[in-house]
Amino acid sequence: MCLPHAGGSASFFFPVSKALTPAVEVLAVQYPGRQDRRHEANIADLPELADRIFAALRGLDDRPMALFGHSMGAVLAYEIALRARDAGLPSPVRLFASGRRAPSRHRDERVHLEPDARIVAELRMLSGTNAAMLADPEVLDMIMPAVRSDYRAVETYRHEPGRTLDCPVTVLTGDSDPRVSPDEAEAWTEHTTGPTEVEVLPGGHFFLVEHSARVVRLVADKLKGQ
């Protein structure tokens, strides 16, 4: 199951789904407030969003599942895995944490409090949003509420110490990502008793767009036999 970044949508993972099918059944989460769920209220609280997603997954807990989250989605994947553990359900066969520092490594970021123009500048800097969309005022009017809400959710999130997973964790990070330092990526080892490995790829925060084929191969290799 794939969980997108702040401001992202399920369609971001369409290339991954296409590449992994039929060997792996790929599900992608569509957060409220965008695309086909644009008429639903945004959720600006990350634990609440994790609760909602976990509840929606309860009918799928009879099959092995891996979680792949990018940026904010990596924190959601971690929180969903914790909820599965707390409920006595099977752990994910693997958690892929992409483009996100470990939950315990907090930075005081307040982009969600900035004017729209500052948030747009942030999106341009990270290069994960189509430039034409960011230049279209009508499109911005549609997407900015969801973007701001997601940034608020992830920037106000606080990790609860003492809670750990037992599943394997694969961390993927770009070697020039301004949002994740090498130490912050390595710190994922503190969040599971299972094996953890860090894969460093060339690129910035959205390295997985530039190197999608390599990321897909890595995921497929890790899930063989699961």
Known catalytic residues? Answer: 71
DSSP for the chain reads: -EEPPTT--GGGGHHHHHHHTTTS---B---TTSGGGTTSPP---HHHHHHHHHHHHGGGTTS--EEEEETHHHHHHHHHHHHHHHTTPPPPSEEEEES---TT------GGGS-HHHHHHHHHHHT-S-HHHHT-HHHHHHHHHHHHHHHHHHHS----TT--B-S-EEEEEETT-TT--HHHHHGGGGGBSS-EEEEEESSSTTHHHHTHHHHHHHHHHHHTT-
